[in-house]
Structure 1
Amino acid sequence: MDGYVARAERDVAAPAEEIWGLLTAEASRVYFGAQVESDWQVGSPVVWRGEWEGKPFEDRGRVVEADPPSRLVITHYSPLSGEEDRPENYHRMEYLLSEAGGGTHVVLEQDGNPTQDAADHAAANWQKMLDGLAEIAEQG
């Protein structure tokens, strides 16, 4: 992974298949209210649309790897970053799901952060997302 890496992780009392479904087919339930569009096949686009801190956004990326229900790698670019839409301005996000005590341990790493502060900020946001994912999954 390049640049500073943001990392969030969470144990969830639900099977990996359910977590995988929330990260893909039901992604709009867990990505901060954004509408998420993709077929989640390798090479396919991913589009996130919504509002963040009062600003509308349309982020984009691609599915790089998909190994259900254990590993998902996508790229992510946000115009709200102020950076140009160029490959070097895309983050690489890797989700790892593993069995943990009858549930699932979820790890999310996002590379390409320009500073440690940016990585820490991203990690805090992703931790909130994983906490919300756990709440949804555990409510059944």
Structure 2
Amino acid sequence: MDSDTFVYTTYIRTTPEELWKALTDPGLTRRYWGVAFETDWSPGAPMVWEEGGRRTADPGQVVLAAEPGRLLSYTWHTFTPAWADAVGLGHEVYEGLAAEPRSRVDFAIEPSGDTVRLTVTHGGLAPDGTIKELIGEGWPAIVSSLKSLLETGEELPEPPR
């Protein structure tokens, strides 16, 4: 796995508009992801990540593209010691994450019959880096919970750590 990109695709029985709302509305993102974003979703706008009462703000966290119902793209969050402690990562793992390049995530939304095809592309990763390893497990779980929320009204329970 020497690629600098992770790609995950799923089909969700929803509309592009409802999927966009689920990707951008803090009340919904908090339900299936545990994260809320403070931003106006315009290209270039700063993003503050709020997770478990912790706020992460950094000038490098920005919206890259926002086309409602079609495409959402932003830079990945800054790793802080408080975040690492909260998610149970040791100091060495945190130091490694903090040294990796800032990555980006793109959500491509495409109508597909009675469903919507969602492709999550997380690029700019260190090919053998820790971030790539973590998102390789994280994105499938997050997207599965998003899919469940949109199709059933209930997000998946958080898996044990």
Structure 1 residue 58, shift from structure 2 partner? 2.4
Question: Counterpart of 1:112 in structure 2: which amino acid?
Answer: G
Q: CA deviation at 1:120?
A: 4.5
Q: Could you tell me how far apart the structure 2 residues matched to 1:5 and 1:75 are?
A: 14
Aligned position for 1:11: 11
In structure 2, what residue type is equivalent to 1:58?
T
Change (3 A) 1:103 1:90: same
Q: Larger % of helix: which?
A: 2
Residues of 2 paired with 1:133 and 1:125: CA distance? 12
Query: Within 2, Cα distance between the matches of 1:94 and 1:35?
Result: 17
Aligned residue pairs, count: 130
User: What's the counterpart of residue 114 of structure 2?
Assistant: 102
Matches within 5 A, 1:1-140: 4-25=4-25, 26-30=28-32, 32-51=33-52, 58=56, 61-80=61-80, 81-82=94-95, 83=98, 89-116=101-128, 118=130, 119-140=132-153
TM-score, normalized by length of structure 2? 0.70
Normalised to the residue count of structure 1, the TM-score between the two structures is: 0.79
Task: State the match for 2:84 in structure 1.
Answer: none
Q: Specify which structure has the bigger relative contact order, considering alpha-carbon pairs within 8 angstroms and separated by 6 or more residues.
A: 1
Alpha-carbon deviations, 1:67-106, whole Å to 9, x = none?
A: 111111111133245326xxx8321111101012311010
CA distance in 2, matches of 1:59, 1:120: 24
Partner secondary structure for residue 104 of structure 1 = strand
Give the structure with higher Rg (CA): 2
